[in-house]
């Protein structure tokens, strides 16, 4: 039985390019982001990977990335489950602000704490811990049972919702996962043993 899970952060969005806090706001991909998503699909195809079901967030940058990957895979027929449980971390009052402007308003040290601490939320928003508390129950109830049943699963989501999953899969601490950088449009391939432990991980960067 093939227990396959592929995680991919969406391609570059318009707000990534403008250095804005995005969160639950809904910009779409840039031309570069479209190219990254297509390249991700081609990498998966080159490895001979195929899928049975896909999961993505309620935000169009992740949905568009998934659509483009499936187009490259020739699998636009696959079932797609969209759920806001997989949305990016909610940045609250920071959403839509340029990161440099946020530093001027609240101070560089405070903004750094909000961005890189595990459990300190920005005003009106979520910490990474809050995001994990939202993402992980959904993962354990919906996605992991599919993987363990032998369904090959592709997830297109966001930097912080995927950090929550990676923390769980790789047994990382909150302090370790906040230091993990996830490039846009780079698939990470996990395979699992019958007991649910990870047997291999392949990062398709480059």
pLDDT tens digits, one per residue of 46-65: 999 999 999 999 999 999 99
Take residue 193 and report the two structure tokens written for it: 């043993």
Q: Are 3 and 153 in contact (CB under 8 A)?
A: no
As to burial, measured by CB atoms within 10 angstroms (0-12 exposed, 13-18 middle, 19+ buried), residue 148 is middle
Q: How far apart are CA 201 and CA 190, in angstroms?
A: 5
Give me the percent of the chain exceeding a pLDDT of 70: 100
Q: How far apart are CA 9 and CA 62, in angstroms?
A: 7
What pLDDT shows up at residue 1? 87
Cα→Cα distances 165→100, 107, 144, 150, Å: 29, 30, 11, 19
Handedness of CA 141, 147, 153, 156 (dihedral sign): positive
Instruction: List, by residue number, the catalytic residues.
Output: 10, 88
* Per-residue model confidence as pLDDT tens digits over 116-166: 999 999 999 999 999 999 999 999 999 999 999 999 999 999 999 999 999
* Per-residue model confidence as pLDDT tens digits over 16-34: 999 999 999 999 999 999 9
Backbone angles phi, psi at 105, to 5 degrees: -75, -45
Closest to 128 measured CA to CA, from 175, 184, 182: 175
Q: Are 144 and 176 in contact (CB under 8 A)?
A: no
What pLDDT shows up at residue 137? 98
**Residue ranges of domains in the chain, CATH in brackets:** 4-203 (3.40.50.1240)
Give me the percent of the chain exceeding a pLDDT of 90: 98
* Average confidence (pLDDT) over 167-179: 95
Q: Using the structure block, give the residue that is written with the tokens 């790789």.
A: 170
* Per-residue model confidence as pLDDT tens digits over 31-49: 999 999 999 999 999 999 9
Q: How many helices (H) and strands (E) does the chain have?
A: 9, 6
What pLDDT shows up at residue 74? 98
What pLDDT shows up at residue 135? 98
Take residue 95 and report the two structure tokens written for it: 């959403």
Q: How far apart are CA 72 and CA 106, in angstroms?
A: 43
Burial 51-67 (b: 16+ CB within 10 A, else e): bbbbbbbebbbbbbbbb
Question: What's the gap between Cα 15 and its chain centre?
Answer: 16
Q: How far apart are CA 126 and CA 133, in angstroms?
A: 10
- Number of residues written out for the chain: 206
């Amino acid at each position: 039985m093939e227990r396959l899970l592929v995680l991919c952060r969406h391609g570059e969005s318009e707000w990534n390019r403008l250095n804005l806090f995005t969160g639950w706001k809904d910009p779409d991909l840039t031309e570069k982001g479209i190219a990254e998503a297509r390249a991700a699909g081609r990498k998966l195809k080159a490895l001979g990977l195929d899928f049975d079901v896909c999961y993505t967030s309620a935000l169009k940058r992740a949905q568009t990335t998934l659509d483009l990957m499936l187009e490259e895979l020739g699998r636009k027929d696959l079932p797609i489950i969209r759920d806001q449980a997989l949305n990016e971390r909610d940045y609250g009052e920071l959403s839509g602000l340029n990161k440099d402007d946020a530093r001027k308003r609240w101070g560089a040290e405070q903004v750094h704490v909000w961005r890189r601490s595990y459990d300190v939320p920005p005003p009106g928003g979520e910490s990474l811990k809050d995001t994990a508390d939202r993402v992980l129950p959904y993962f354990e109830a919906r996605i992991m049972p599919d993987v363990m049943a032998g369904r090959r699963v592709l997830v297109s989501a966001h930097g912080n919702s995927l950090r929550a999953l990676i923390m769980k899969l790789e047994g990382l601490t909150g302090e370790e996962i906040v230091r993990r950088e996830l490039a846009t449009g780079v698939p990470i391939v996990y395979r699992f043993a019958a007991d649910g432990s990870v047997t291999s991980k392949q990062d398709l960067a480059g």
